[in-house]
Amino acid sequence: MKKSIVIAIDGTSASGKSTNAKLVAQALGHVYVDTGAMYRTLAWHCLRHRIDVTDAKAVGTACRQWKTQLKCVADGFRQVRLLVDGYYPETEIRTAETSAAVPHVAAGPQVRAWMKRKQRECLRFGDLVMEGRDIGTNVFPETDFKFYLDAHLAERSRRRAADGVNENLAARDQRDSQRAAAPLMVALGAKVIDTSGLTAAQTSAAIIEEVRQRLARTGPD
């Protein structure tokens, strides 16, 4: 039985993870998994039920008790969604309120452990392109296909502003890299790509070429 391929794309905020992960998934015919959306969904769930997002114990309890389901959908390309009570809050998880809550809910060790189990379950959908902040270090450390995207702070801030988002990325970087549970770091063996002067097409092409070269050398199994 063929073992599923996992392409892990980690990196800092606004480094191009989502855009490039989608392009790579489309080009290779893999299933796209946005792990950030899963944390956003938990943040939305906590806000909806008036759970204090700064209370790690309360958030951890909520994470264990909510009724969720992983579903692979074909929306332009195949991607995994985390449904809550059968519903995917596609618009709600992108609000400013939810965005502000995400770093708090994502920091708890109980949440990271739950998310790791749920994200590894995505293997049942086949070959994956999974993007986040701890895929190559924590969720799928065994994969041979690890990438870490970064860009200059000024460039990342410009990208966020162009999307109409005002976020202190330096503070976010510090929180992500210093949290106790699954901190943001370059995974062992990861190919680091500075996207500052690259287009999404150039970045995704570099990832795809690297994946194809490694598969040619080692094979898919």
Q: Looking at residues 204-209, what average pLDDT do you find?
A: 97
Report residue 172's pLDDT band, with 50, 70 and 90 as the boundaries.
Answer: confident
- What pLDDT is attached to residue 1? 53
Q: Average pLDDT over the chain, rounded to whole? A: 92
Helix (H) or strand (E) holding 220: none
> How many Å apart are CA 131 and CA 165, to the nearest integer?
20
Q: Is 115 exposed, middle or buried (0-12, 13-18, 19+ CB in 10 A)?
A: buried
Instruction: Provide the edge-to-edge strand list for the sheet that holds 145-150.
Output: 68-74, 78-84, 31-34, 128-132, 6-11, 145-150, 191-194
> How many Å apart are CA 212 and CA 201, to the nearest integer?
16
Q: Which of left, alpha, beta for 113 (phi over 0: left; psi -120 to 50: alpha)?
A: alpha
Percent of the chain with pLDDT over 90: 72
Domains assigned to the chain: 1-30+127-221 (3.40.50.300), 34-125 (3.40.50.300)
pTM across the whole model? 0.91
Q: Contact at 8 Å (CB) between 41 and 82?
A: yes
